[in-house]
Chains A and B, each alone.
Chain A
Amino acid sequence: MALKKFEGLPREVIALRVSQEIEDNSYVNLGIGIPTLVSNWLEGRDVILQSEIGMLKTGSLAEGGDIDQDLINASCQPVLEAQGTVYFDICESFAMIRGGHVDVTVMGAFQVTPTGDFASWMNPSRGLNGVGNIGGSMDLATGAKKLFIAMEHTTNDGSPKIVRELTYPATARKKANKIFTDLAVIEVIPEGLLLKEIFPGLSVDDIQSVTEPKLLVSPDLKEIEL
């Protein structure tokens, strides 16, 4: 199998780039994986994190003696309260999510397409007869005002994760608005995928070579700025 072709941004820095796209005064929900790392870059910002377990104003990760067994985020990581934290039950939490009250949702994905379809909940190769962990992913996608996908540009063996059609089971259709990878920032527009930013040193052809659908190139194409 082909190996990964290009070295790009580390996961923490993809998260940093995503954080720059989040406006102050936003309510934000962060999924598992790279999205969770976005919280490290939001400290001091006027952004409120919603956690689907039932918490608004989720604080930073807790360590050592600060760990409380009754206080975790939706990834089961111990967290801290922030000043003004609120707790509520699961139905209220999903009223916020499904009801369109969350401004920005950031999720990981196995695959994304030019129409904004994405797959994140099940890896068929796990061989579990059609079941997997949906968690809150479909609810979050349904209610998202803005949905950002944060992921590696390719799989570990170099296969594109930005594909023409999903081969993994869909989480939702026509929902992804923007894709942040280690190699590029791509916007989902009605005409397809618009390449807006690329990792310094790489060319449009380089990005295209690890992306299955044909990319449109923004007239304002620039290097990823941090």
Chain B
Amino acid sequence: MDKTVKDVEEALSGIEDGATIAIGGFFAAGVPRILLRALADKGVKNLTLACGSGPLLGAKGELDALLSNGQIGKVIDSYGLFRSATKGGQHPFEQQVRSGEIELEVYPMGTLAEKYRMAGAGIPASFLPVGAGSMVESSIITNIEDHRKPRETRVINGQTCILEYALKPDFALIHANTGDAEGNLCYRKTARNFNHVMATAARVTIAEVENLVSPGDLSPESVHTPGIFVKRVLQVPRITFDITAL
């Protein structure tokens, strides 16, 4: 099976306006920068970018390009805002969240991870204890008031739990250090983070890999994401960046 694609256009084919796209990465680590840049170049609009922990803050050039094209309708994240209120207040992303032009929906990080895991594992919903006694328990946390749907809760073993639904993106853009043509992937150090679970969750998972190898070259015991979860593989150069610049 050969899942390699020749260029970014082929990698992103089929992504249309209104798509929900998972974006791998945790701040600056393991973000699919080349695919994000290509998404900006493609120009599709009204996108929901389903993140894990601030990959758009870690790929600011790509975020700026998506913003200036007006492509983002909604972001789902656990840590989507700049840590510094001063820096954040000056950034167009936060300004558009404040004005309501962009919706920001927020979940606890582990809950968000579990929402992707459920989507990948065919579990429609589950009860999680995280967020009990906080705003998470009363409604969906979003800057758009009309979208603050109340949550269903149940007391299990004396603990209030919140019904969380699977989050199934149409596409996932992920980054791996090494992959083979059949989509088996290995990540490097903490760049793994949300990439694996998002690969399992999406209808179409597109992986950019810094090193493309032949099937059989990866040690079978060391594969992190088995190829069954991956539809397309694009070889990309390793982009070096300043991890401290966030």
| Segment touching B, from A14-22, A84-92, A215-223 | A84-92
Given A76-B27, A76-B28, A172-B133, is A123 in contact with B85 using a C-beta cutoff of 8 Å? yes
Partner of B110, one of A76, A94, A127, A131: A94
**Are A131 and B97 touching (Cβ within 8 A)?**
yes
**Given the complex, which residues of B lie within 8 Å of A88, measured CB to CB?**
192
Question: Count of A residues near B, CB < 8 Å?
Answer: 50
> CA of A89 to CA of B109 in the docked complex: distance in angstroms?
13
Interface set, chain A 79-134, CB cutoff 8 A to B: 81, 87-91, 93-94, 97-98, 117, 123, 126-134
Complex interface: stretch among A5-13, A63-71, A179-187:
A63-71
Interface residue B91 (Cβ < 8 Å from any Cβ of A): no
Which stretch from A36-44, A47-55, A146-154, A156-164 is at the chain B interface?
A47-55
Also in contact, A130 and B81, with CB within 8 A (given A67-B244, A89-B193): no
- In the bound complex, do residue B109 and residue A128 qualify as a contact, i.e. CB atoms below 8 Å apart? no
Chain A residues near B244: list those with CB within 8 A: 67, 77-78
Of A52, A87, A130, the residue contacting B109 (CB under 8 A) is A52
Shortest CB distance B83–A (Å): 7
Residue of A74, A76, A134, A171 contacting most chain B CB atoms (<10 Å): A134
| Residues in A whose Cβ lies below 8 Å from that of B241 | 69
CA separation between A165 and B246, bound complex, in Å?
35
Judging by beta carbons under 8 Å apart, are B27 and A139 in contact? Answer: no
A192 at the A/B interface (Cβ < 8 Å)? no
A139 partner residues in chain B, CB cutoff 8 A: 108-111, 130
Query: A139 vs B129: C-alpha distance in the bound complex, in angstroms?
Result: 9
- In the assembled complex, the CB of A183 is this many whole angstroms from the nearest CB of chain B, namely 26
Q: How many A-B residue pairs have CB under 8 A?
A: 181
Q: Closest residue of chain B to A138, judged by CB? A: B108
Residues of A within 8 A of B246 (CB): 76
On whether the beta carbons of A134 and B107 are closer than 8 Å, the reply is yes
In the assembled complex, B100 has its CB within 8 A of some CB on chain A? yes
Contact of A136 among B97, B108, B192, B196 (CB under 8 A): B108
> B residues touching A (Cβ–Cβ < 8 Å)?
26-30, 52-54, 58, 78-81, 83, 85, 88-89, 94, 97-98, 100, 104, 106-111, 113-114, 116-117, 128-136, 141-145, 148, 177, 187-197, 224, 240-244, 246
